[in-house]
């Protein structure tokens, strides 16, 4: 398991980490790439990286589904971030093909920051 650190710069931010994840894997191969974040107020997803508007639409749709302000019971003001983290999940997996993760043409791996800015840990594991 390799660890990378991602510094986010806004409260809500879709950060493309495909390059950082790929760098940890140089020269290594396997059957499955596993990416995990050990936090409870951010998430990971795979979606389109070509047009940044896509991730912006996703973030804004999550905001409409899970408003930041609501009489939540958890008193730290970030319940919306926890809820969004469960909707997206905190792990993604990608199979390998010919020695590299078989991401689709348009796919990128994104850290979804829902309660930043913070420094986030991301764990990268290769299953053989």
Nearest residue (CB) to a second copy, 11 versus 123: 123
C-alpha angle 121-111-85 in degrees, rounded to nearest 5 = 90
Output 10 or 87, the one with its CB closest to a second copy: 87
What sections of the chain are H helices per DSSP?
Answer: 18-24, 52-65, 79-88
Assess whether the previous peptide bond of 117 is cis (omega < 30° from 0).
yes
Binding segment (CB under 8 A) for a second copy, from list 4-12, 15-23, 26-34: 26-34
Q: By CB under 8 A, tell whether 10 contacts a second copy.
A: no
Which of 8, 21, 39, 111 is in the footprint of a second copy by CB under 8 A? Answer: 39
Footprint on residues 61-120 left by a second copy (CB under 8 A)? 61, 65-66, 72-76, 79, 82-83, 85-97, 102-107
Q: What is the smallest separation between the CB atom of 108 and a second copy, expressed in angstroms?
A: 9
Q: At what angle do helices 79-88 and 52-65 cross, to 10 degrees?
A: 120
CA distance 112 to 61: 13
Quick one: 8 or 96, whose CB is closer to a second copy? 96
Between CA 25 and CA 123 the distance in angstroms is: 12
β-strand partners of 44: 111
* Contacts with a second copy, residue ranges (CB under 8 A): 1, 31-32, 34, 36-40, 45-48, 51, 53-54, 56-58, 61, 65-66, 72-76, 79, 82-83, 85-97, 102-107, 121, 123, 125, 127
């Amino acid at each position: 398991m390799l660890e990378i650190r991602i510094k986010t710069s806004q409260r809500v931010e879709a950060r493309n980490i495909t390059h950082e994840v790929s760098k940890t894997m140089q020269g290594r191969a396997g059957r499955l790439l596993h990416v995990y974040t050990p936090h409870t107020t951010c998430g990971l997803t795979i979606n389109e990286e070509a047009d940044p508007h896509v991730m912006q639409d996703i973030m804004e749709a999550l905001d409409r589904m899970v408003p930041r302000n609501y009489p939540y019971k958890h008193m730290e003001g970030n319940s919306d971030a926890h809820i969004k983290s469960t909707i997206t999940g905190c792990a993604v997996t990608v199979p390998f093909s010919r020695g590299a993760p078989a991401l689709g043409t348009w796919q990128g791996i994104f850290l979804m920051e829902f309660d930043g800015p913070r420094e986030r840990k991301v764990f990268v594991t290769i299953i053989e």
